[in-house]
Amino acid sequence: MLTAGEARAAQPGERAAAAPGAPAATAARAAQVAQTAPSGKAAAPRHDPALIARGRYLVQTAGCNDCHTPGYAEAGGQVPEKAWLTGDRLGWRGPWGTTYPTNLRLRLAEMSRDEWLRFARAMQPRPPMPWFNVRAMSDQDLTAIWAWVKAMGPAGEPAPQALPPGQAPVGPVVMFPQ
Ligand code: HEC
């Protein structure tokens, strides 16, 4: 994968070729991402304004905020963007125990784009996380979500630890049939 410095040094149109030894799929993806940069400039995915805007749009429309942003549904979506995806203390209790929507602003902070793509495809968290929806996203859409999270930076506290079935949670929960 290109570092930000390499991507900036590359001329428009040369970017996909600028990664010697990169698998063809990676190069094709880089070319695709480069096309979304304004006026053909080869911005690194992480700093590409069009990609970041796409990520914001996906976070908003693919439902991630509904669970991963505190109070989002109750407020009719009127939560400042700086609080988006900071995780929630509202638990989800069912036969799997009690889970808490992860603080994704912290979780993704240390991940490179490639690490995130691998993680998003392999993860299988407990309900009600719709991991199968995330897995079905294109590499470009996953990259866009990652770019938006990186652009916003880390924020908030980690969500509470999940509890095993049978252990009573202390805070508020949404109950599923047990
Ligand atoms: C219905 C609620 C809900 C929705 C909608 C939802 N999530 Fe989650 N998500 C959760 C919960 C709860 C967990 C924690 C599950 C666990 O602890 O096993 C989680 C976990 C995750 C994790 C795993 C973190 C880790 O470290 O294992 C990722 C990544 C994630 N969500 C991303 C997303 C994205 C991206 C979207 C939007 C496309 C989304 N989620 C939508 C509830 C939700």
Statement to judge: residues 138 and 72 lie in one domain: yes
- Are 1 and 65 within one domain? no
Residue 45 has what pLDDT?
A: 84
The total of structural domains in the chain comes to: 2
Same structural domain for residues 12 and 83?
no
Whether 24 and 76 map to the same domain: the answer is no
pLDDT at 25: 53
By residue range, what is the domain housing residue 149?
48-175
26 and 113 belong to one structural domain: no
Secondary structure E strands in the chain: 91-94, 97-99, 173-175
Determine the distance separating the centroid of ligand 1 and the alpha carbon of 19, expressed in angstroms.
Answer: 33
Longest dimension (CA), the chain: 59
pLDDT digits (tens, 9 = 90+) for 37-90: 444 455 688 899 999 999 999 999 999 999 999 999 999 999 999 999 999 999
- Nearest ligand 1 atom to the CA of 66 is 5
Ligand 1 pocket mutation, candidates 66, 68, 138, 148, criterion most atoms within 8 A of CB: 68
Q: Which helix (H) or strand (E) holds 143?
A: helix 139-152
Q: Tell whether ligand 1 has an atom less than 6 A from the beta carbon of residue 123.
A: yes
How much distance in Å is there from the Cα of 4 to the middle of ligand 1? 28
d(CA 70, CA 100): 11
pTM over 0.75: yes
Give yes or no: residues 86 and 13 share one domain.
no
Does one domain contain both 29 and 103? no
Let me know whether 23 and 70 are in one domain.
no
Tell me: do 105 and 27 sit in the same domain: no
